[in-house]
Every structure is written in C-alpha cells, then in structure tokens.
Amino acid sequence: MRSAVIGVGVIGSLHTHILSERKTLCAVCDIDGEKLKKYADIPTFTDYKVMLDEVRPDVVHICTPHYLHAEMVVYALDKGINVLCEKPLCISIEQMKRILDAEEKSSARLGVCLQNRYNKESVFVKEYLSDKKVVSAVAHMAWHRTKEYYASGDWRGKKATEGGGVLINQALHTLDLLQYFAGSPSHIVSNVCNLTLKDDIEVEDTAVIQGTKGAGITLFATNGAAYDMPVVMSVKTKTDIIHILPGHVYVNGTEQPLEETYARVLGKECYGSGHELLIDDYYKCLQENRPFEINGREGSKVVSIILAAYKSGGEETEVVYG
C-alpha cells in the first residue's frame, strides 16, 4: 500500500507519523511550504491534484480544513483512489450529496475518521447494546477553547470554512457515539449560542440537541468551560443504566471489565487513542476487500444531525440523511 496525506498541520502530522511507522507514506501535500520541510525524504506537493495525478497513491488521507473535504474526497474517488477523510465529512447537505454520489460511482473506498468508536468503552457498550433497545442516551462535553486556539488557524471559528463551532468540530465525536449507540433521530430540536467567545468567533461555542423522534439522544456541549473536562455519557435501556467515563463503563452501578486494545495516545489527549486502530482497520479492510464500517454514508449521519441542529433555532426539525 502507498499512502499520501493532504494537509500536514496538527492532525495530518499524526497521520503521517502512523503511516511512516508502517512504511506506507509515499507523498504529502500542503499549501504551506514550511510544513513540507520535514518530509525531505519523500516527494512533496503544494497542489493536491498534481500529487494525486502524479503519485497515484492507493490511499489518500484528507486532513485539511472542513470546507475543503468535499472537493478533495470527490476528486480522489473520481480517480479511483481510496480516501480516508478526517471528520467532519463535509459541512453542507449539498456537499454530502456530491460525496455520497461519488462514493457510489467509485471503485474506491471512502472511510471517515470517527476514531472514538474504537475506544475500548465504545467497543464494550456497542456490543452490550447489540440485543437491547436504547430508551435515552445523554452526553455532556465541557471543554475549554480560547481565542488563541481559534487564532491558530484562519479557517477556525468561521462559518464558511469551519462550518460551525463546537458542534461540528469538538462535540462531533460525542454526538456520533450517541447516535451510534441509540440510533439516528428522524427529528431533533436544538439551540446554539456563543457564551464566551462573542468577540472572537462567528460560530457557536455552546449547543444543546434533543432527539424528538426516532431516537432519544440528548447532547450538552460547550467550548466555554473553565477547563477541559472528561466527556460523560449515560445510556438507558428498559432494564439497564450504563454510565460511560473515559476508561470506565458501569452497568447498573457495577464497573465492567474492558478489553485492553493496544493503542498509544499519539497527539493531544482529546483525540483519544483511536486513530491508530481506525487507520489499521481501514487498511485491513482494503487489503482483505471487506467493507469498512465507517464509510461515507455512515460518517455522514452525524453531519446530518449537526446540520439539522444549525437549522433548528429551537423548533423541531427533520434530520435529512444522505
């Protein structure tokens, strides 16, 4: 397998680190020439189309700002190049349609980087719930993001380039797990606002979502907390109440033994350790010609819920899935 990466910023560097260790990295692309300097031993590019056309990698990892994902995914899929795209898959329904259409027509496979599904707590809970119906699933995510964080990239904090704020960036993983465990709501009601960063960003730093039909999911999320707190989730079935904390799962008050997955925490603590597991699983699926579970359609579900939340303004809103 020969892999290429587009965008070697914060998360792209994690992808290139993992791919270098597996000796598959064959080329990288970034519009910022400075960032390419540390890849002196492989071909580097500033134009992703030129890289894909010249190098023809087996897989391309897309690690660029949100608004660029759709055009890059579609370009690669149209060329028959497998794509692993960082979250969110896209930032509009129109982009989603284009991606899912390209995925359907392509001989190549699309995967989306929702690595928290590989956390040992997530693996346990998903398996535990396999023969149960979820009545309610509630999560709260309270993190701390400063104006310096938003100033660290000119695409951050802007509707046109990030697509939103806390929901489409930080809380996306938690919302994805809620719908992964409880099912996808057909309707939601939501409110978003900016509590602490009004002068610095044009998008929301705080959001609430309630699933009103199809799945009883509830999310409270903010980037305005005083400190990055652990994400806490509770899932109710007819008979059980499950509490999920980082590294721990309790069913009806009893802590459950979790199967240790070999995964180092590479990069920032808030990414978890799932990237390595997800990347290895994606490549294994390609090599064994098996479907990868988090394909475009699966990875787009959480984006559909988020886009409905942005539309809601406190009114019940239908979630449009791809």
Ligand X SMILES: NC(=O)c1ccc[n+]([C@@H]2O[C@H](COP(=O)([O-])OP(=O)(O)OC[C@H]3O[C@@H](n4cnc5c(N)ncnc54)[C@H](O)[C@@H]3O)[C@@H](O)[C@H]2O)c1
Q: Minimum CB separation from ligand X for residue 213, in Å?
A: 29
CA–CA gap between residue 82 and residue 159 (Å, rounded): 28
Among 61, 87, 117, 145, the residue binding ligand X under the rule CB under 6 A is 87
Among 25, 28, 36, 86, the residue binding ligand X under the rule CB under 6 A is 86
Asked if 7 is part of the footprint of ligand X (rule: CB under 6 A), the reply reads yes
Asked if 122 is part of the footprint of ligand X (rule: CB under 6 A), the reply reads no
Asked if 153 is part of the footprint of ligand X (rule: CB under 6 A), the reply reads yes
Query: x/- site string to ligand X, residues 188 to 207, per CB under 6 A?
Result: --------------------
Per-position b or e across 181-217, b if 16+ CB within 10 A of its CB = bbbbbebbbbebebebbeebbebbbbbbbbbbebbbb
CA–CA gap between residue 161 and residue 159 (Å, rounded): 6
CA–CA gap between residue 279 and residue 292 (Å, rounded): 11
CA–CA gap between residue 322 and residue 23 (Å, rounded): 35
Among 39, 48, 118, 181, the residue binding ligand X under the rule CB under 6 A is 48
Q: Minimum CB separation from ligand X for residue 61, in Å?
A: 10
Asked if 19 is part of the footprint of ligand X (rule: CB under 6 A), the reply reads no
Q: Minimum CB separation from ligand X for residue 194, in Å?
A: 19
- Closer to ligand X by CB, 37 or 133: give it: 37
Asked if 4 is part of the footprint of ligand X (rule: CB under 6 A), the reply reads no
Under 8 Å between Cβ of 137 and 235? yes
- Closer to ligand X by CB, 15 or 109: give it: 15
Binding-site size, ligand X (CB under 6 A): 25
Asked if 8 is part of the footprint of ligand X (rule: CB under 6 A), the reply reads yes
Asked if 17 is part of the footprint of ligand X (rule: CB under 6 A), the reply reads no
| 3-state class (DSSP) for residue 255 | strand
Task: Tell the residue number behind the tokens 């730093």, with chain if given.
Answer: 205
Q: Minimum CB separation from ligand X for residue 65, in Å?
A: 6
CA–CA gap between residue 174 and residue 231 (Å, rounded): 8
Stretch that binds ligand X, among 25-33, 129-137, 178-186, 257-265 (CB under 6 A): 25-33
- Partners of 136 in the β-ladder: 236
- Partners of 217 in the β-ladder: 137
Neighbours of 133 (CB within 10 A): 9
- Closer to ligand X by CB, 86 or 298: give it: 86
- Closer to ligand X by CB, 216 or 299: give it: 299
CA–CA gap between residue 144 and residue 270 (Å, rounded): 11
Asked if 66 is part of the footprint of ligand X (rule: CB under 6 A), the reply reads yes
Question: CA angle 203-205-207, nearest 5°?
Answer: 105
Q: Minimum CB separation from ligand X for residue 72, in Å?
A: 8
Please tell me whether the peptide bond between 185 and the residue prior to it is cis, using omega within 30 degrees of 0: no
Query: x/- site string to ligand X, residues 158 to 187, per CB under 6 A?
Result: -----------x------------------
Tokens of 306: 């988020």
The residues of the shown chain that bind ligand X, judged by CB under 6 A, are 6-12, 29-32, 35, 48, 63-66, 68, 86-87, 113, 115, 153, 169, 271
